[in-house]
Structures are given as C-alpha cells and as structure tokens.
Structure 1
Amino acid sequence: MIGINKEKLLNYARTEEDKLFVRRLMDKAQKSIKGYLTFTHFIDPHQRAIARQVLHELGVKYLFDGGYKDAERVTIAFLPDYFDYNTDSETLEMVRNDPSYPVSLVQISYKKNQYSRELTHRDFLGAVMNLGIKRETLGDILVHDEYSQIIVLTDIADFLENNLYQLGRLSVDVKTVPLTKLVVPALKTTEKTTTVASLRLDAIVAEGFNISRSLASDCIESGKVYLQYEECNNVSKSVEEGQTITLRGKGKIVLCSIGSTSKKNRIFVTFKKFI
C-alpha cells in the first residue's frame, strides 16, 4: 500500500457513507498486509462495486463470500500472504475453516394453520430488524415452505435464537445450523418477449421493469441499477445476452435472448424476471 493515494481511492465514493466504507477497506487491507485474516460485515452490490475498484488499486488479495455461490450480500475476506492456494475453491475452503470465519446460518421454522399465509422475505427481514439488528449483520434471506434460512454474522446468531419467538401471529423455532445445511431455493420467474428500440441500458431497464425511459435513466444515473451485480451509471451502456440487471426496489431481470429486428427496426428480446 506504499505510495497509494488515499484521495484517489476516496474518489470512488459518492457519499459520506461510501467514504467511511472506503476508509474501512483501507484499514482491513492494512491488517491483511501485516499477516492477519480479516473480514468485513455484509455488503450490498453497491458496496461490492466500490470494493472491487478500491481493492484493485490497493493490490491486496481478497475474496467475496456470502455463504453460497451467487449470494447477493457478501462479506469480504482480506487474505494475508500465507493464503496462497492454487484455486479459488481451495482458498474459500481454507477461509471457511479458519476459527475467525464470521458467518453462520440461522434457520427459522414455523407451522402454517388455516388462517395463516406463507411468510415472505419481507416478513423475515422485518421481524429481525425489529429486534434492533443492523442490516450489515445480515446476509441473504432464503425463503422456503414453512422455514427460512438467514445467513448472518456469527455474533448475532445466539441473539436471534434467544430473542426471536414470533413472526406476526405465528410462533417460530430459531436455531443455528451448519452452513453445509444451506438450501438455495428454486427461483420463481416469469418470461416476457417484447421489442426494444436499442440494447442501451436505459431502454432495457425501461422495458424490463415496465417503467418510462426517462425514469429508467434517472434510476441509472442515481446509482439504483446494477449490471452483473456492479453499479452502472452509464445510460448508454450496451447490455449483452445473458446479463443480469437489478433495479433497487424493483427486483432483478435477465436478458435471456436477443433476436432479430422487426420491420419497425426494433429488436426482439426475451426477459426473465425474478418474482
């Protein structure tokens, strides 16, 4: 990190909160250089985009881990030099076997009755947050039939076991289970085939999320849109087949296929939307 321009790194941050995050990254990186394996709390896709840029500049070894492949919320493990393994999977296994590994899996089970409904991601998140838990201590929430699994920082696992008894009118059973018991639910999706004027990000976001093109542009420029889980502020960025687009507060779509051009010079596309 000798010779690194801190002001240059802070330029990757837009807000004071982002600047604080960048400073924390620099502190963690410094500890890893001194030979310590260190971790962050859970970060969102916006913070992950910042982290990629900052850590590339710092030249430190790191990995993202949210408990399973394709997790949206992840921690960052800062790797000291002795974590020198041939493959990413070997490195990840070594990190997860380290006594300082900070991630646990909490399972919340309940029994439906004739008056109850299926609990949703919002229900589980709301119940946990109402206990005073900070969002940064929570990873992804994986919802199943009559139970949910929440990836958390180990520090709060016991607290949840001892303090979460109900979700709405339903009694729940909360316990910590091994991370190897994590079950990724089958994703529910719908498909839509339509036409777009171009493959620009603003056009794809507008059509994929059923919003106006001007609103799509505003969302992109304000940092609410992620292309391949990285924040993208370029409205004219070309979207490629197979890429994932997330709009904060609206969900996630995949541009599944790009077809031929219509007589009106519009492009046929197929979206997959996660519900």
Structure 2
Amino acid sequence: MDSIVQHFRKEEQPFIENALGWTREVEDTYAPKLTGFLDPREQFIVETIVNNAGLAFDAYGGFRKPERQRLLIYPDYYTPQPDDYQVALFSINYPAKFVTLEHRDILGSLMSLGIDRSKFGDIRLQADAAQFAVVDELKDYLIANFNSIGKSKVRIEQLDFSALLIESMETWTEQLYTVSSLRLDAVVSAIMNSPRQKAVSLIQNDKVKVNHTVRSQQSFELNELDSLSVRGAGRFKILSIEGRTRKDKIRLLIGVLE
C-alpha cells in the first residue's frame, strides 16, 4: 500500500488516511462502507486504494453523469442495493422572475448552515429551475432550515427518483497537449497557448484553481483527474497521462469545456 500512497500528493495524505481507514473497516467488519460526496480526484484516490485492497466499489450521485458522487466500498461477494447510497434530491422553488441564481449562491447558502461540503453533491441549474443532491440524513434538517439564498426566500421540495432531473449541459472535448512537466505553470501555459510568464502571472494573482481550490504556486504539480479553472479561459480536466515523447516531454489528454 505504501507504494501506492507515495504516488499521491503530500497534502492529500489526510484524505488518503481516511480512505485507508474505510477499506480497513470493510475488511474488518465484512460490511459495506459509504463515503460522502467526493470530487473526481478523490474518487480516483479511493478507487486506487480499494482496487489494491481487493475490494469492490460503486458510485452514485443521484443525477445522470454526476461529477460528485458517493462511493460504496464493499466485499466482492456483496450485492449493493439502491437504498445503500442514501442520496436525496431536492428542487429549489424561488422567485425566478426577480432573482437569478448561480451555482455559487446555492452552494454558499447551503454551507452557511455549517454543513461540510462532502454532504452535498451536484447542483444543477437550468432556466428557472434548480436542483441539488444531498446525503439522505440531512433532508429533514434542510427542509426545516434551508429557507433563503442571499436575500431571497426559497422553499425546497424533495424529489422522487421518477422526477424529471436537470441534465448536465456541459460539453467536453478531448485534446492532446505536450508539456515539459506537470507543473501548474507549464500546463496552464500549454492549454492557453501562451508564454510561461503569462501563466505564472495568472497563478500568482489567484486566477487559477485546481480541484476548486485557488493555487498560487506555479510549481504545484498536477496529476490525473485534476480539474482546472483559469479565469477568463474556462475549465479543463486532466483525463490521462499518455506517456512521453522521444524528447522526454509529457503527453496529456485534457478535457476542455466548450
């Protein structure tokens, strides 16, 4: 297991320890373990550790093609049931004629209730409709307490799984890039087709996020399934590291949000 852990970032160590603890719990109790909602990078880490431990896993986020999902870790002889994933879906009723909601508005209001980000899944918006996923155990609390977004009064309503759910409208294309290293400045420079110094300036001015967190160090090293957002340039995902060229440069397959 140490040989796997060393391939991840030092700052990911606390999460890795949690993931190792989840797998040990399943091995010791022979019972399934359900995680909170994980982003794609966290899912990748858990999947790597679970596969190495000889266990099985499955993921569910409520919506079709979700980004954030709960992972169920279980012995290979266990058959998961729909109720195992404990995901609740809600719609938000708000005065759409007078208010325009954005993803950050909804997420900020949910987290202002003092609940950890891992308790919430995807937030979907379309025209005057808004929906979100949450861990099942919080549904009663949210019904009682989630009644405003900013200055606007809202009312949430739980959806059953036959309801019409908002589809992700995101369209990603795949592009192959060649970079000198996995440093953040090198990758940003490549995807923007700009000089390295411009990439450094963007990073140092807090205009680049990795996995939704601002990164101000140009030497920060990226890895597979990291997501990037560059203010003014869009969103990107490192889908896979495709190997090296004859000149020892790294080939990256990157998803670009259109």
**Fold equivalence (TM over 0.5):** yes
Q: Pairwise mapping of residues 216-227 of structure 1 onto structure 2 (< 5 A)? A: 222-223=220-221, 227=224
Query: What's 1:173 paired with?
Result: 155
**2:85 counterpart SS class:** coil
Measured after TM superposition, the shift of residue 220 of structure 1 is: 8.2
Are residues 254 and 164 of structure 1, via their aligned partners in 2, closer, same or farther at CA, if it must alter by over 3 Å? closer
Tell me the residue number matched to 2:117.
Answer: 135
* Conserved 8 A contact 1:140-1:150: yes
Measured in 2, the distance between the counterparts of 1:204 and 1:12 equals 19
Q: CA separation in 1, counterparts of 2:85 and 2:44?
A: 23
Please name the residue that 1:65 is paired with: 60
Number of the residue aligned with 1:35:
30
Which AA in structure 2 matches 1:25? A
Q: Tell me which of 52, 69, 75 is aligned to 1:74.
A: 69
CA distance in structure 2 between the aligned counterparts of 1:188 and 1:57, rounded to whole angstroms: 33
SS in 2 for 1:125: helix
CA spacing shift, 1:163–1:58, aligned 2, 3 Å: same
Distance in 2 separating the partners of 1:65 and 1:211: 38
| Per-residue deviation, residues 59-88 of structure 1 (Å, max 9, x unmatched) | 21112222234322121111223335xxxx
1:56 is matched with which residue?
51
Structure 2 CA distance for partners of 1:248 and 1:53, relative to 1, 3 Å: farther
Residues 36, 174 of structure 1: CA spacing in aligned structure 2 closer, same or farther, 3 A cutoff? same
Q: Say whether residues 1:14 and 2:30 are aligned partners.
A: no
Per the alignment, residue 26 of structure 1 pairs with 20
Residues 13, 204 of structure 1: CA spacing in aligned structure 2 closer, same or farther, 3 A cutoff? closer
Structure 1 pair 205/179, CA: closer, same or farther in 2 (3 Å)?
farther
Distance 2:22 2:95 in 1: 43
Q: Is the 8 A contact 1:104 1:179 kept in 2?
A: no
Aligned equivalents of 1:8, 1:220: Cα separation in 2: 27
The one-letter amino acid paired with 2:22 is: K
- Give the count of matched residue pairs: 218
Equivalent residue letter for 2:90: V
Name 1:104's counterpart in structure 2: 88
3-state SS of 1:47 partner: helix
Call closer, same or farther: CA 1:21–1:95 in 2, change over 3 Å: farther
2:129 paired residue number: 147
Once the 2 structures are TM-superposed, how far is the Cα of residue 141 of structure 1 from its aligned partner? 0.8
Higher mean alpha-carbon deviation, 51-60 vs 214-223, is at: 214-223
Question: Which structure 2 segments of 5+ residues have no match?
Answer: 204-215, 239-254
Summarize deviations over 1:27-72 as a string: whole Å, max 9, x none.
3223333431211111122222322322222121112222234322
Query: In the alignment, is the contact (CA less than 8 A) between 1:66 and 1:151 conserved in 2?
Result: yes
Q: Residue 110 and residue 102 in structure 1: after superposition, are their counterparts in 2 closer, same or farther (change >3 A)?
A: same
Q: Which amino acid aligns with 1:273?
A: L
Q: Deviations over 1:93-112 (max 9, x none)?
A: x432x3x4321112212122
Distance in 1, Cα, partners of 2:59 & 2:7: 19
CA distance in 1, matches of 2:89, 2:17: 29
Q: Distance in 2 between matches of 1:78 and 1:220?
A: 36
Which of structures 1 and 2 has the bigger CA Rg? 1
Corresponding residue for 2:145? 163
| Superposed displacement of residue 13, structure 1 | 4.2
Q: Letter of the 2:33 partner, please give it.
A: T
Tell me the TM-score normalised to structure 1 length.
0.65
CA distance in 2, matches of 1:67, 1:211: 39
What amino acid sits opposite 2:39 in the alignment?
D
Identity %: 24
Inter-partner Cα distance in structure 1 for 2:131 and 2:170: 15
Query: Does structure 1 retain, via aligned residues, the 8 Å contact 2:178–2:190?
Result: no
- Which deviations, in whole Å up to 9, do the C-alpha atoms of 1:168-191 show, x marking residues without a partner? 2322111221244332143378x9
Q: Structure 1 residues 55 and 205, CA, compared in 2 at 3 Å: closer, same or farther?
A: same
1:181-216 deviations in whole A, cap 9, x for unaligned?
332143378x9xxxx9x6448777435457643537
The amino acid of 2:170's aligned partner reads L
